[in-house]
Amino acid sequence: MGCRTLCFGFFCVLFAYCVYTPVPENIEEPWKVRFVDALIKMTSFVGTLFENIGLMKYEEVFSVIAAAHYTKPISDENITVIDTNFSDIPVRLYLPKRKSKRQRPAVIYIHGGIFVFGSCTHQLIFVSIVSEISTSDDLNRWTANKLGAVVVGIDYRLAPQYRFPTALEDCVSASKFFLQDKVLAEYGVDPSRICVTGDSSGGTLAAAVIQLLQNDPEFKDRIKAQALIYPGLQLIDTFLPSYQDYKHGPVLSREVIIKLACLYLTEDETLPQALLKNEHMPEESRHLFKFVNWSDLLPEKYKKNHVYTEPIFGKLNASYVALMDHRLFPLLANDSQLQSLPRTYILTCEHDIIRDDGLIYVTRLRNVGVQVTHDHMEKGIHGALSFTRAPVFLHSGLKMRDKYISWLEENL
């Protein structure tokens, strides 16, 4: 009993410390943000502690917190929801019930979760106590209802059990299956009104899916639009201004994103250590840095007082060819690959460690003539779109959802 009391007291003190950690002054609903930030910081601290003493791996602690269970596809008076498989990949379909005089638009949605967590069909256990609907399910249901669109949520396989490029291959396979004429006809979808969208690492996958489809003769020009919500698009330079300004969060810290994202590639602990020091890229990758050089591509207001320094090359003994692959980091695609991309919506948040990834992509796409709509949430944080219902909801998340839906209405 004494040990339990001591542990409980320790976690209470740790949580209180995390809650009172300062957050940016102009952030919306700071106490709600502090609460979410505190949970993640505490989980990261415990994960590091348990890993150091050999009790549990860092990611396993996050897995306990993020434990999820299957939620049944719940239909309502407006939407029919069903689970099925597209090319052996689990998907959740949202089919509007109201009749339409013309063929419907469609949205292919790819969820986030740093390639390790997240689902379109599963709900976090601690959230399921107060809600039967997951955050992804809620967004997809809202999208289908507001747009009268068919929505496809892809449940791709996750790391560390399945490494790169498994998640991407799952998303590409499911998307290609859906884009077949006979499948589109079955669901009453207009082949000229299809969008691929994703948030966070789902935005990473969505951007890569679009690049691959646009370079596939069979599916070229099948996608009318892409929508990327606070996407992570590179990790070859981990010293971009936003990576420095928000290295401790809120919500997503440098340590958390690097440790978990690396599991998509390897369990080798030297890789995240090298990433944290920005010493992970091989000498032969030097030519790729023109695609992410923030001193040229980032708008002036976001550079602040930062001075560009070139990463240290060739320091990491192990070689990871995937680090130079644009299928992993869509920002590494060259200009000729980007100029064929469809109209694009990108939403970025000011208080987000991967803010600059999205800002640089906006610049590069516009430079090659792609039609881009960019919404920047000055008071926004990473992941806010996941908090649009109880137990924790953020008004900034509702604003993001409305902006996203409004753009889809105008562009599909």
Q: Which of 280, 326, 351, 382 is catalytic?
A: 382
**What is d(CA 92, CA 262) in angstroms, rounded to the nearest whole number?**
28
Q: Which of 237, 352, 356, 357 is catalytic?
A: 352
Phi, psi of 80 (to 5 degrees): -95, 125
- The amino acid sitting at 313 is F
User: Is 382 an active-site residue?
Assistant: yes
- Contact 277/313 with Cβ under 8 angstroms? no
Please name which of 62, 153, 115 lies closest in space to residue 329, comparing C-alpha atoms: 115
User: Is 242 an active-site residue?
Assistant: no
Q: Which of 119, 200, 242, 386 is catalytic?
A: 200
- Contact 147/105 with Cβ under 8 angstroms? yes
- Contact 234/207 with Cβ under 8 angstroms? no
User: Is 352 an active-site residue?
Assistant: yes
**What is d(CA 77, CA 285) in angstroms, rounded to the nearest whole number?**
54
Burial 338-376 (b: 16+ CB within 10 A, else e): beebbbbbbbbbbbbbbbbbbbbbbbbbeeeebebbbbb
C-alpha distances (whole Å) from 176 to each of 202, 215, 396, 412 are 17, 13, 34, 19
| Environment class of 210 (CB within 10 Å of its CB; exposed 0-12, middle 13-18, buried 19+) | buried
Catalytic residue positions, numbered: 200, 352, 382
